[in-house]
Every structure is written in C-alpha cells, then in structure tokens.
Chain A
Amino acid sequence: MTDILLFRDIDEPGLATIDVYERRGGYQALRTALKTDPAELIETLKGSGLRGRGGAGFPMGLKASFIPQGDMQKYVVVNADESEPGTFKDRELMQKNPHQLIEGVIIAAYAVGATKSFIYIRGEYEEQADILDAAVQEAYAKGYLGENVAGSGVELSLHVQRGAGAYICGEETGLLDSLEGRRGNPRLKPPFPANAGLFQGPTLINNVETLSALPHIVELGAETYSAIGVANSSGTKLISISGNVQRPGNYEIELGMSSRDIIYGLAGGPPEGREVKFWFPGGSSSPVLTADDLDVGYDFDSIAKAGSMLGSGAIIVVDDSQSVVDVCLKLAHFYAHESCGKCTPCREGTNWTEKMLGRVKDGTATPMDLDIMASVQQRIIGNCLCVLGDAMAMPVSSMIAKFRGEFEAHIEAARAAADRAAVGVAG
C-alpha cells in the first residue's frame, strides 16, 4: 500500500540536496511528464481527483485547465505563505524535501505552458527560504530549470520571493499583489488569477503540498492515485496536529481515516486524565467540532457534513483544561490584527468582535453582548471581499453556539471577581 507519498523519504539524511533526491528516484516523474502532451497531463491531474491542499480544496486539475491556451506570458506561483495558525506541514516539506516541490512546479508549469514561476514564501521561514534558494540553484545547475528544462526545449525560470509576514498575503490575490511589489490586499474577483493574475497574466497558483503531490501523481498515474483515499477526496494528506495532544507533529494520512484514529491513534490524544473539549479540523479558521464529532472520517465531504471544513489539514485539539473564552479571544485578536482593512465587514467586524470578547473576558459584558456578537459574525460571513473575515466569523460563531453556557458562566465569574476586587480596594 502506498499511503505514504510526500513523506516517503522525508527522514533520509541530505534529501534537500539534489544528489540524494535524484538517487531516491527524484526528477524521474518530470522526465515522464515532459514526454507527455500538456493537455494529456492536465487530464491526468483532473483524473487524479487531487484537491487543493491550501484550504479551499478546489480541484487542482480543473484549476489548471482554466488557464487559457495561447502564447501569452503565463505564470505558476507557489503559495508557500503558510500562515494559518496550527499549520506547519509546508514548512517541513520545504525544509526537508525542496526538490519534490520544485519538480512539482516544473510539471505544473509544463502542463499550463508557463515560463516563469515564483515561490512566495512567508518571511518568517528564513531557514526554509535559504534551503529553497540553494535547491533552486542546484536545479538550475542540473538543467532542470532555465532555458532548456531537462533537455526538452521547454523554458522555465523559478524565483523564491520572501514575504514580509502578513497573513493576508496567503490569500492568493493578496499574494499576487505582494509579489508584484504592492501592498498585499486581496483583489476583486472575478477576474480570477487563471485569467488575470500576476502582472495581469494567466496564473496558476497552488499550495506547496498540492504541487509536491504532482510528481507522485505522474509516477502513479491518475487511476492509482485516485484510488487512494475516499470518493471526492483522493490521495494522501499531510496533517499538522497541535494543541493538547501527546505527540504533536506532521503526519501523512490517507484521506478518509477516522478523526479519532488521528487524534488518539497518531497523536496520542490529550494528556492523561484530560478529555477532548473541542477541536479545529482544518486550521484556526474552521468552525470547531466537539468530542461528539470524533468519529467523523477525515476527508473533505465528511468534515463538511459535520459543519466544518478540512481547510489546510491542521488539527488543533483543545482539552477541558482550557477556557473557550481565551481561545476565542486569542483567535479574534489574531484575525483583527491580520485583517488588511480593505473591506468594511472584515476590518470593522474583527475589530469589534475582539473588543467585545475583551469585555467578555473581563466581565463587563452581558449575555446580550453574546447575541450581538453572534449577529455580528452572521453579518460578516459572506459579505467580505475575501475569506479572512469569514475565517474569524465561522469559528467564533461556532464556539458561541456550542459553548454559550461557558461564555455566560465566564462573564458571571469575571464580574464577580471584579466586584470582589473593587470591594477589596475600597475596603
């Protein structure tokens, strides 16, 4: 069974160097791909059922097929701005196996006819950016990049661009603006990047993990790859587990695995004597699920049916020692701080929610404020320019809905404590 693909050789010493990578069969898939017709390659990608691993889960092959034909300048951009709290899978991929990504980029560029490609990596990933830079140099030196890719006559350049550390630059159009040298703000869609992306040219933009899967798809073929996983969620997925678990880290799983097996089996569950209170199935922007949902299969459709989303595949487990108010406030603070300020509901909604949660925290709120807060979340969802506003509103509203009692109890307790302190000072 080939349920380990992307992490197959991940612990191989020196895998980041091209020699080791080639020795382990690297760049063979590229040679196969270059012999295939690009249109056929896109059919393979479509047939593999690979869905984007960055968060939205859009079918990758379909996205590639949207890139128009013609001899205009086209681009492939790798979204390596892995900023979603709880997500750290791309970091390991780029640090330990950069050539797998580069190979994936070249295959994607060949498939859509792009001759320029960029890896936009978040500024905090300095070490990974250095590794990628070195790997790109090696690939150039070996002729996998440049004017004649692997002797096929295809041209491709690849540049690693470091961001400056803004969550919004992980939004694809914000990333493109930032890459163009402008303020990283999301753009109005349509036009989508496939038609007018980087420098207004057709652009294929994908997550690191998505592109890293391409060599394996080419190697295995569409049918074999799509057989892995469950219907509508084929292939393997890297998941980053963090929070109150005994063995946090990155794991590669076959999609469809039970969530309980992941949290309790792979990650060892919460510390002794603790229970899972709630968990984020796909990064901090996914609505929370509770212990009741632990038996849900970990794939796109099942998680969606449970009322959340698979997102970037980052599971954050919160046990019963934690306060939901603290988690919620921390989350709201993050999104209020990272909101770009371009559209009104996100800018003011995140800021307002953070202020309200601050009052919940210190006990100056009333239960009516919880109603207002819930209504504010509903007024954010679906009304924003990009999904950052929704990314805060969805988990916050799910937490208020599922743990309203705890919020109210916290307000009571905090107010009582404040009153006691005031009396103490006065007395």
Chain B
Amino acid sequence: MPRPVAQMVTFTLNGQEVTAPENAILADAALEHGNVEIPVFCYEPKIGGPVGACRMCLVEIEGIPKLQAGCSVPVKDGMVVHTDTPRVREAQEAVLEFILVNHPLDCPVCDKGGECPLQDKSFGWGDGISRFVEPKRHFEKPLALSPLIAIDRERCILCYRCVRFSQEVSEDHQLVLQERGAHAFVATFDGHPYVAPFSGNIIELCPVGALTSQPYRFRARPWDIEQSGSICTLCPAQCNVSFTVRDDRVLRVLQRDHEGVDDGWLCDKGRFAYQAIHVDERITQPLLRDGGELRPVTWELALETAAAALGRGRGRTAALAGGAATNEEGWLLQGLLRDSLDSADIDSRAGGTLPLDLHQALGAPALQASVPDLEFAHAVLVLGTEPVDDAPVLDLRLRKGVRRHGLQLFTATSRPSALDERAVLAVRYAPGAEAAFVAALDAALTGADVAGPAAAAGADADAVRALADGLRAAGEDIVVLWGERVCSGAAGADAARGLLNVAARLGLEGRDGAGLLGVPDGANGRGLREVGVLPNAAPGLAAPDTDGRDAAGIAAALAAGELTGVYLLRTDPLVDLADTPLWERALEKATTVIAHASFLTPGIAEHATVVFPAESHAEKEGTVVHPDGRLQRLRPAIGRQGETRPEWQVLAELRRALGNDERLLTCSMVTARMLESIPFYAGLTLDTIGADGTRWTERPQGAAAPAGAAAPFDLPAPAPAASPNGRLRLGTFRSIWASPEVGASPALKFLHPRQRVELAPGDAERLGVRHGSPVTVACDGRSVTGIAHVRASAPEGSVFLETAIAADSAAELDGPLVEVRPA
C-alpha cells in the first residue's frame, strides 16, 4: 500500500497552538511538534499500535470526561489537550506509585540503572515517596530467558513490549504472559529458552531492567561508556549500529534507528557477534608460513615478503574479495591487481560473473527499490532468497508490511521460506532451477506457454500462473527481492535476463516504490561490484581493458598451474565458495597465498603463506554500499586490537612497493580517490554521505551509471532440472549463524551451525531417516555427514544442506543429485 500522506492540523496543547499531522498519536505529536513529553511505558510505535496498558500517559482532553491515554488518541483539528493540570499530575503520580508497588528498588545492581526509563519517569513525574509498606512479589532470580538474555521478573512492570515484539514483529510467537494480575510474568510458551534470530531486540525494548543482556551483564554502567555509531557489516542488511565502548573494548551493540535501512531492529548476530573482536583466537599480528607453520613476524617482514611474492607473480596472480571488504579496500585491490600486477583475474562473487551489460542493467538506478518500498509496496516477490538468513532485518520489514500495510507477499524459492506462512502464495521450484523458474514466470506474465519452462524448473505451472496473476492483480508498486543465487551458476545470465524481463513486464522501471532489490551474498557485494571487483568490470561498472577469470576460473587456473598466486581479501575459498575439492587443489598448488583474515579458518590455516590481521567491523573506517544503493560510512569505534593495521593501508603499501608512487596517507584520501574515479558517485564526499548514508541511485549524478542491456530479451528454452530418480536434488543454504564471528563469540557459540540435512517427511521415510539422526549425503565418491532435519514444508525430491560452515559443508558436494542414507 502506498505511503499515506498526512494533513497538518492544529490543536492546543497546554494552551499552546501546535501543528501536527492529522491522526498522529498524541504522545508522538506532543513530543515532536509541541516539545511536551507525555510519559509512556507500554507504547512503542515500532512494535505496533497502542495497547493502553500502563496508563502512564493519561492526559485531559476537553470535552471528554475521563482522562485519556495519550498513547492512543489520534490528533484531531481543534483538540484541546492538557498534560499539566493537577488532575493529570495526580493520575501520573498514581500510576507511578502503582508501578513501583512491585518494582524492587535495586537500581544499584541493575544493569539498566542510569539509562532506565522507569528511573527517568519516576524522577520526572513521580511523587518521590511510596506509601506501600507490604512485601513485594518475589520470583526466582536471576534467571536465563535464553543464553543471551537474563530475565528478572521482579523488575518487570508488565508493559509486555517484549511479548508484543515476539508476537507481532518477529512473529516467532514464543513469548507470552503467564498467570494473571499481579502474579503475571513473561515466559516462553513452552518453557524452553527464547532462542530466535531477533531475540536480542527485547533487551532494548524493555523499559526497565527486567530483560538484560547476558554478555553485557554487569560489564559497565552508562557513565562508564561511550557510544560510537557505525555500520554492522556482518551481512548485506548493513544495519546501523552503535557500539558501546569501555576501556577500548566493545561491550555491547545497540540499534541506531534508520528508517531507510533497519527500522531500528538488529538480528542477534549483529547484536552479539561483537564478542569475536576480543577473543584470543583472533589474529592480531602478521603471520608468515615458515617451515609449514604460520609464525608471527614483524609487519615490515610480512609486507616485504608479500610484496616480493606478488612482484614475482606479476601477471600470474589473482585476487578474491570477501563481502566484508569496504569499497576502499576493493578499489585498492583491483587497482593493485590491474595496474601493478598486470592481472585481470579478480572477483567478489561466488556464483560466477554475468555479462557486464547485465550487471549494469540489474544495478540501474531506475530499477532500484529501496528498503522502505518493501513495506509500502502493493506486492513483494521474494525470489530465491531467504531474508532471515541472507539479510535478516528485511524479514522483519516484510512482516511489518504484511501486518500493517496490507502488503501482499509472494515467495518463490526452492527451500521453504520462513515467510511462507505470511505469503499469499508460496511457489517451489527445484534447487538450481532459478533460470527456468524465472523464464516460466516471464512466460506467465506475457501469456506464453508456461508448462514447458515450469516443468524444466520443477515447479507447478498453475502455481506460476497464479503467481503472475497475483502480482498483476495486487497493484502497480511491486518489488522483487531477489537473492544473488538466482543469477548464479551456468544459467545465471539467462536468469538475469529473465529477471529483467519480469521487471519490464511488471513496469517496474522508473517507478517510485517499485523495482528490484538484489540481496548479494557478501555484506558489501554491491559496493565491491561498483568499485570494480569483478573480472569484467572496472570501477563504475565500466568495461576494463581486458576481462579476467571469475572465482571458479581462478580456482581452475590455479589448480592447472596457469596462476601461481592468489590474494584473499577477507575470504576463505574453502568456507565461502563452492566446489571445495577444486579449491583445495588450487590452494595446494598455489605458491603465494596472501590473506587478510581474523580467524584461522581451514583455507587460511593450511594454505596461506602470508596472513595479515584483518580489522573487525568496529575498527574499520571506510564506506560500503547497501543493496538498495545507499552509501554508508563506517567509523572506527575502538582502536585496532593488537598489532592490527588498517587493510587499506596494507594494500596501499603493497601498491607503493610494487611501483605506484601515489601517496595515500589516510583512509579519507582513499575514499576521495575512489569516489572521484566512479562517475555515478560524482560529488559525493564523506560529509555528504554523513551519518545516515546517501542513496546514489536517487541523486541526479546517478544518471551517469551505464544503462546496460535493455529488456525484453528472448530467453532460450531452459535446461530441465535433474530428475531425482531415487536420489535427491541438492539444494544449499547459508544460515544466518554460519560465520566465523558467531563461532568465535562465547555467547553465540551455541548457535554456530553444524551440518543440517533438511528433507521432506516422505523422502525421510523412504530412506529410513529419522529426525535428529545422523545421515550421510554422498555424491561422486565424496560425502558429508549431518543431522537429519525432517521438515514438513520441504518439497519432496530435494535435500537442503548448509554451506559456509567449516566442516561438512555442502560445498564439498558437486550435485546436482545426491544420495542420502542413515550414517
């Protein structure tokens, strides 16, 4: 549904004329437009509509005999409101006295003390004394609501924000109120720990110290700490965060509400994985392979060795950049490779590259939807991505759209999506058959033959037709949220053409509130593409002098001896990329493997010759690009740990050592050079990017972006998906928890995934596999083991395995068909 436009009305607040949008909630309008604070506890517009439970916000409205809850009254023209009459003050004092009846006064030991809304409200509106002399209620405390959250039920004032978050925002439906009246308490429905991807948000929602962070427990008080705003680069959602810093250590991560990015929520990975910054396993000094072992060395020696090795491998060195690399690092890396090492073999995509004109067309400003568009569109098609794993906070945005704005959600994925339950229609296709599915959808939208491509995609033709009809019927503002895996693999280019066709058929180009939103695999996947970390694109998605090899090509060339060195900027091919066996051979064969890494993941530990310590996201400086085209700025919150040096500096020094005389002294110099070199970033500076970022696609200079290929395209008949024929089709997914940071964080470690083999109940029964039992998945003589996870919604004939885990990753298997048997 399109964003509502509010009319301004004038009302009287404590005798003062205030102009505010009509139907805005009085408590909000009074604060924003009238500079009058109406105290609230239970009201939190981020969670949903008002509930009027705490009664703290009572105000007097002329013409209404009873006091009204300011959190639930919409502002009307001519309304006369009083918030400071004796009657209102008496009511506010009364409610605070009631709230404190059962609230223990243990502020000195409470983690919320000093930043507690209840303290503030008691100070501002309370009476200062309590007439309650009876014993307060008692609960067992402290209790762990989950390994991440501590609950103190005595402190709870039963505003039930947390319960509403669980029920209405994250919709995991785990938290409920148990019992009644003064004995009521918050608990999970089944008594199990509250473990959910977004559970940590309830800590920030709690207006008292009832829900506190376990990792932050008793670490610091508000006057001991400083807040430092930056961006979380652990996934493409790039949520705006604020690091809590004490004694140069990150102790906590809080949301930094940005309506255009995260809507004020964080996932638990973003909230708790900061712990990985301060663990002993982290690499904080340069390492050099010496006699088969990685040993700490000085920076001078490491840089010298790396520069010498790169110099020897001129023309035979490739580079790969991981998703957490910033634009500056990507730009320097491609410059280092293309200008100083005479090589064009550089890539940042796991699934092979697309023709340049398709990259350009998919990233064209006229076709880009923004994150808020997901909420206000008439319909959203989630295509080939699982938001909760790939960019978690978008999952909440879609649920919000469905719940509050009548968004019609459609999902089309091979693996069942968590959003299916909220979707009007969920369509399944065979794993890897994205191109065929997109072709079928395109055919359905044009009225051509659907049956052929749908059969090739392993999808139900009627469902595809229903999807096309549903999208057309929903309205004009349609957003397609697509995952990078759609345009990956051998048929990636066809899928990209099909996707552009679909966008053209639905008229998404140039329409406000509609468009494509591509979720890359890496956190800064979009930025790395735009600064030229692609084998066939120079900075600004311009054509390079020569095209190079993509990731798979690099692996093959390394294994064949055509390339001798590889530069790994924050990536480990054995964890992040497909086809582990080939990469193992490739890294084995390579004579030079220079890596920037924080942890000794298998590929680094076994094959790297030089390891530079990588910065954590709290130490990093630079810029990144959000999937919707928003340039965002990273600012260092803490000093670099140990001997860690900035990665841009390492790249710049290698560049100098290899003969480039340009002096790059600060990161902002690199940023300026990088921004200058890209036509569609023209005029941007760190200042204009600012704290909230800037969408380059919305600026007039964005028109300088190359247009790329123009839809519609003629699509070739898609190759049919492999028929299972007794075996199972292999699908892969990357869990939200599959990251080295999760594995290294003491509090999050329990979520670090092991291989989970998802399959349908029918297949499980046929294969004699029980839920929770170990199974072996084999293909072409290679096998991995995992725990069977029988999922009722999984499609028959397919099995889904995790990638990006250190052991037993699905990348070991080639597919497309695998055998599953009990281990």
A and B touch in the complex (CB under 8 A): yes
Q: Chain A: residues with CB nearer than 8 A to chain B?
A: 166, 168, 183, 188, 336-345, 347-352, 355-356, 359, 372, 379, 382-385
**Interface class of chain A by DSSP:** helix
Which chain A residue shows the least CB distance to B95? A344
CB distance from B338 to the nearest CB of A (A): 60
CB distance from B469 to the nearest CB of A (A): 24
The 4 closest A-B pairs by CB, nearest first: A379-B94, A341-B184, A351-B182, A339-B181
Interface centre among A348, A349, A350, A355 (most CB of B within 10 A): A348
- Is B180 close to A, CB under 8 A? yes
Known: A351-B101, A383-B91. A339 touches B55 (CB 8 A): no
Supply 9 A–B pairs (Cβ within 8 Å), ascending by A: A188-B72, A336-B182, A337-B180, A338-B180, A347-B158, A347-B181, A350-B181, A379-B94, A379-B98
CB distance from B308 to the nearest CB of A (A): 70
A340 and B134 form a contact (CB under 8 A): no
CB distance from A138 to the nearest CB of B (A): 37
B residues near A352, Cβ cutoff 8 Å: 98, 101, 132, 134
CB distance from A366 to the nearest CB of B (A): 10
A residues near B182, Cβ cutoff 8 Å: 336, 339, 341, 347-348, 350-351
Residues from 162 to 213 in B contacting A, C-beta threshold 8 Å: 176-177, 179-184
- Is B51 close to A, CB under 8 A? yes
Q: Chain B: residues with CB nearer than 8 A to chain A?
A: 50-56, 58, 66-67, 69, 72, 90-91, 94-95, 97-99, 101-102, 131-132, 134, 157-158, 160, 176-177, 179-184
A337 and B53 form a contact (CB under 8 A): no
B181 and A343 form a contact (CB under 8 A): no
B residues near A356, Cβ cutoff 8 Å: 134
Which chain A residue shows the least CB distance to B163? A183
Report the Cα distance A166→B181, complex, angstroms. Answer: 11
Known: A188-B72, A348-B182, A379-B98. A343 touches B54 (CB 8 A): yes
A382 and B67 form a contact (CB under 8 A): yes
A residues near B55, Cβ cutoff 8 Å: 343-345, 383-385
A residues near B132, Cβ cutoff 8 Å: 352
A349 and B98 form a contact (CB under 8 A): yes
A348 and B52 form a contact (CB under 8 A): no
Which chain A residue shows the least CB distance to B179? A341
Interface centre among B53, B55, B134, B181 (most CB of A within 10 A): B181
B residues near A168, Cβ cutoff 8 Å: 180
Report the Cα distance A385→B160, complex, angstroms. Answer: 15
Which chain A residue shows the least CB distance to B56? A344
Known: A340-B181, A350-B181, A351-B182. A188 touches B97 (CB 8 A): no
A383 and B94 form a contact (CB under 8 A): yes
A344 and B98 form a contact (CB under 8 A): yes
A residues near B158, Cβ cutoff 8 Å: 341-342, 344, 347
Report the Cα distance A352→B97, complex, angstroms. Answer: 11
A residues near B157, Cβ cutoff 8 Å: 344
Report the Cα distance A33→B333, complex, angstroms. Answer: 84
CB distance from B486 to the nearest CB of A (A): 37
Cβ-neighbour of A372 out of B52, B54, B131, B160 (below 8 A): B131
B95 and A382 form a contact (CB under 8 A): no
Report the Cα distance A168→B158, complex, angstroms. Answer: 17
Which chain B residue shows the least CB distance to A372? B131
B95 and A383 form a contact (CB under 8 A): yes
A188 and B52 form a contact (CB under 8 A): yes
Report the Cα distance A379→B131, complex, angstroms. Answer: 13
A residues near B56, Cβ cutoff 8 Å: 344
B98 and A188 form a contact (CB under 8 A): no
Cβ-neighbour of A188 out of B69, B160, B181 (below 8 A): B69
Report the Cα distance A37→B790, complex, angstroms. Answer: 58
Known: A336-B182, A351-B182, A352-B134. A342 touches B58 (CB 8 A): no
B99 and A183 form a contact (CB under 8 A): no
Cβ-neighbour of B53 out of A336, A379, A382, A385 (below 8 A): A385
CB distance from B532 to the nearest CB of A (A): 53
B131 and A183 form a contact (CB under 8 A): no
A379 and B180 form a contact (CB under 8 A): no
Which chain B residue shows the least CB distance to A355? B134
CB distance from A11 to the nearest CB of B (A): 39
CB distance from B96 to the nearest CB of A (A): 9
B residues near A343, Cβ cutoff 8 Å: 52-55
Interface centre among B99, B176, B180, B183 (most CB of A within 10 A): B180
A residues near B53, Cβ cutoff 8 Å: 342-344, 385
CB distance from A352 to the nearest CB of B (A): 6
A338 and B181 form a contact (CB under 8 A): yes
Report the Cα distance A338→B101, complex, angstroms. Answer: 18
Report the Cα distance A347→B181, complex, angstroms. Answer: 5
Cβ-neighbour of A337 out of B98, B134, B177, B181 (below 8 A): B181
A residues near B72, Cβ cutoff 8 Å: 188
B residues near A345, Cβ cutoff 8 Å: 55, 94-95, 98
Report the Cα distance A183→B181, complex, angstroms. Answer: 13
B residues near A336, Cβ cutoff 8 Å: 181-182
B176 and A183 form a contact (CB under 8 A): yes
Report the Cα distance A168→B98, complex, angstroms. Answer: 20
Cβ-neighbour of A383 out of B51, B58, B99, B179 (below 8 A): B58
A383 and B67 form a contact (CB under 8 A): yes
Cβ-neighbour of B90 out of A337, A355, A379 (below 8 A): A379
Cβ-neighbour of A379 out of B52, B97, B99 (below 8 A): B97
Given contacts A183-B177, A341-B179, A383-B91, 7 further A-B contacts (CB under 8 A): A339-B181, A343-B54, A344-B95, A344-B98, A347-B182, A351-B182, A352-B101
Report the Cα distance A336→B102, complex, angstroms. Answer: 14
A188 and B66 form a contact (CB under 8 A): no
Which chain B residue shows the least CB distance to A183? B177
Which chain B residue shows the least CB distance to A379? B94
Report the Cα distance A372→B134, complex, angstroms. Answer: 13
Report the Cα distance A338→B180, complex, angstroms. Answer: 7
Report the Cα distance A340→B176, complex, angstroms. Answer: 14
CB distance from A191 to the nearest CB of B (A): 10
B residues near A337, Cβ cutoff 8 Å: 180-181
Report the Cα distance A349→B98, complex, angstroms. Answer: 7
B residues near A183, Cβ cutoff 8 Å: 176-177
A residues near B98, Cβ cutoff 8 Å: 344-345, 347-349, 352, 379
Report the Cα distance A356→B132, complex, angstroms. Answer: 9
B residues near A342, Cβ cutoff 8 Å: 51, 53, 158, 160
B residues near A340, Cβ cutoff 8 Å: 180-181, 184
B52 and A385 form a contact (CB under 8 A): yes
Which chain A residue shows the least CB distance to B71? A188
Report the Cα distance A117→B435, complex, angstroms. Answer: 50
Which chain A residue shows the least CB distance to B101? A348
Cβ-neighbour of B134 out of A338, A359, A383 (below 8 A): A359
B residues near A347, Cβ cutoff 8 Å: 98, 158, 181-182, 184
Report the Cα distance A169→B243, complex, angstroms. Answer: 46
CB distance from A423 to the nearest CB of B (A): 25
Interface centre among B95, B98, B101 (most CB of A within 10 A): B98
Report the Cα distance A336→B67, complex, angstroms. Answer: 23
CB distance from B70 to the nearest CB of A (A): 12
Report the Cα distance A341→B180, complex, angstroms. Answer: 6
Report the Cα distance A359→B132, complex, angstroms. Answer: 12
Which chain A residue shows the least CB distance to B182? A351
B99 and A344 form a contact (CB under 8 A): yes
A residues near B181, Cβ cutoff 8 Å: 336-341, 347, 350-351
CB distance from A397 to the nearest CB of B (A): 14
Report the Cα distance A350→B182, complex, angstroms. Answer: 9
A residues near B180, Cβ cutoff 8 Å: 166, 168, 337-341
CB distance from A350 to the nearest CB of B (A): 7
A residues near B50, Cβ cutoff 8 Å: 188
CB distance from A419 to the nearest CB of B (A): 20
B102 and A348 form a contact (CB under 8 A): yes
Report the Cα distance A379→B179, complex, angstroms. Answer: 25
CB distance from B65 to the nearest CB of A (A): 9
CB distance from B88 to the nearest CB of A (A): 11
Report the Cα distance A341→B54, complex, angstroms. Answer: 10
Interface centre among A347, A349, A352, A356 (most CB of B within 10 A): A347
